[in-house]
Amino acid sequence: MLNYDYLGAYSLDNGKDLTVTITRTDRELVKSAQHPKGEDCFVCYFKEVDKPMILNATNCKTIQGLYSPYIEDWAGKRVTLYIKDVKAFGTITDALRIRDFAPKAVNVDVKGAKAKLSKCKTLDELKKVYTSLPKDQLNNADVIAHKDEMKGKLA
């Protein structure tokens, strides 16, 4: 019943909530053991994780209630994933769900990250400093652009 190509309850470290930013939502043909030819599903992609999440009706309704009924408006919106026990197929199982409240805004220290990267004198030093940055800075578009700019200067 598990499809490891997509996020599931098994994806959350120690069952802890995970706040992510939606990059896009698409309709895709998803193949599984139950549907080897594929099933038409909504799939949501996030900036912070490599795998997308299949959105069931419950999770779609939650995002709609938070932000907008139009999936094209969801890009850039943040949601928090969590695990919930649900009754499915006659048994209680873990399900990946989206919290029904918007996560708090995160203030990213872009200026501080850029300052650290600007001090680098070699590509090895740049790599070491960049990979040591906190996750919120690593995933910030301005920080990534500055890292790439520094990489070009040091190459």
36 phi, psi to nearest 5 deg: -60, -25
pLDDT level of residue 130 (50, 70, 90 thresholds):
very high
Domain boundaries, the chain: 9-98, 110-154
Distance CA 88, CA 92 (A): 6
Give the C-alpha separation, 40 to 151, whole Å.
42
43 within 8 A of 36, measured Cβ to Cβ:
no
pLDDT in tens, 83-114: 999 988 789 989 999 999 998 877 788 999 99
Considering only residues 1 and 23, tell me which one the structure prediction assigns the higher pLDDT: 23
Residue 16: alpha-carbon gap to chain centroid: 14
Whether the pTM exceeds 0.75: the reply is no
pLDDT at residue number 113: 92
Give the C-alpha separation, 132 to 92, whole Å. 40
Q: What is the pLDDT of residues 33-67, one digit of tens each?
A: 778 888 899 999 999 899 999 999 999 999 999 99
Q: CA-to-CA distance for 46 and 101, rounded, in angstroms?
A: 18
Q: pLDDT band at 2, cuts 50/70/90? A: low
Over 90: is that where the pLDDT of 27 sits?
yes
Tokens 């069931």 map to which residue?
56
